[in-house]
Amino acid sequence: MEYLELEDNAQFLKRYQLYVNTSDTPQKTSKTHRQSASLMQGMMLTELLPSGMTFHMVNAKAIRDFGFEAELFPNFKIALFLSGNMRFQLGEQKTQLGEKARHAKVMTLSEPDLCSMNAKADEQRSALYLSVEPDWFEKNGMESSGIKQQLANHGGLDDWALPEILWLQAQQLLTQNDQSYVSRMAREGFALSLMACWLDTLSYKEPVNLRPESRRVQQFRDLLNSQEVLTMSLSSIRNQLGMSSATLQRYAHEHLNMSITQYLRLRRLELARTALHRDGISIIEAALLAGYNHASNFTTAFKREFGVSPTDAHLLPRLMRRAL
């Protein structure tokens, strides 16, 4: 992973500086001064989601010692460390975050502040981060004294025990770092579920006040991100949401960037791909799971979406186990 890749993933920062240990003396690098050597080996992705949230994930090993200093914008962040740890300083506060099964860290910056971190050669880190600007809640019609109290807690760092399903989904997302429709939807769906789950855990009793339109959008997203929707017809979806065909398709294009039919087809293909990887089901079983009566049609759709045939996807876990 070159400096340019790290810089691309740091564009959401207000100001930043890399320090790289190339010999006995750390060297600085910036947008105007790059070296050709790699800093990390692995994957790093930063993505602005359609919902307005920023999703970042990393699964990489440090090739050499390096440090990172940045000025952060005000933001609210949820961090999940799946493996490894991170040493950083926020303002005057020094902290070390590390893997803790089924736990996340909830962090709040109510004002711009300086942050620094460092990594040692050969350290491995797998982590997911979800962040929003403080006014994101208000823009989405969520207003409560509890949210305001959380956002005013500058430098706050809280531990949160996650539901097991979210922890398992987070682990699976590390393998979905491509830009296919399904992977992008998987990241968006996980982000919405994670944020909604955190809102449910707030200790205050006052409900979040949603504007009528915001409530309807949330109901639409909740249903479309559920497993139940995969077995529903378009008429059933319309009836459950109380929408006309025109309204349902308008919501789909506004919030999914595709039609309902396309969305369901991609969700079912992703379900089949996961079953091929994880459970080792047959190609015919995967085709039926995705809603195809003919394996040939399923194979064509699968390869068009994921770039590999179902047979290759079916064999990959076995080949990986042999390699290990």
pLDDT tens-digit readout, 151-199: 888 777 888 888 888 888 898 898 888 888 888 888 998 999 899 888 8
Averages of pLDDT over each 10 residues, the chain, 324 residues: 46 51 47 48 89 91 81 88 78 68 85 80 88 88 78 82 86 87 88 88 55 75 86 90 89 86 89 80 88 90 84 58 38
Question: What local confidence, expressed as pLDDT, does residue 94 receive?
Answer: 72
pLDDT at 281: 84
Max intra-chain CA distance, the chain: 68
- The pLDDT score that the predictor gives to residue 99 is 64
For residue 194, what pLDDT is reported?
Answer: 92
SS (H, E, C) the chain: CCHHHHHHCCCCCCEEEEEEECCCCEEEEECCECCCCCCEEEEEEEEECCCCCEEEEEEEEECCCEEEEEEECCEEEEEEEEECEEEEEECCEEEEEECCCCEEEEEEECCCEEEEEEECCCCEEEEEEEEECCCHHHHCCCECHHHHHHHCCCCCEEEEECCHHHHHHHHHHCCCCCCCHHHHHHHHHHHHHHHHHHHHHCCCCCCCECCHHHHHHHHHHHHHCCCHHHHCCHHHHHHHHCCCHHHHHHHHHHHCCCCHHHHHHHHHHHHHHHHHHHCCCCHHHHHHHCCCCCHHHHHHHHHHHHCCCHHHHHHHHHHHHHHC
- Does residue 46 contact residue 55 with C-beta atoms inside 8 Å? yes
Q: What confidence score (pLDDT) does residue 308 get?
A: 80
Domain coordinates in residue numbering, the chain? 271-324
Q: Is 302 in contact with 269 (CB distance < 8 Å)?
A: yes
pTM of the full predicted structure? 0.56
Backbone phi, then psi, for 230, in 5-degree steps? -65, -20
Q: How many residues make up the chain in this entry?
A: 324
Asked if CATH classification 1.10.260 holds for the domain at 271-324, the reply, yes or no, is no
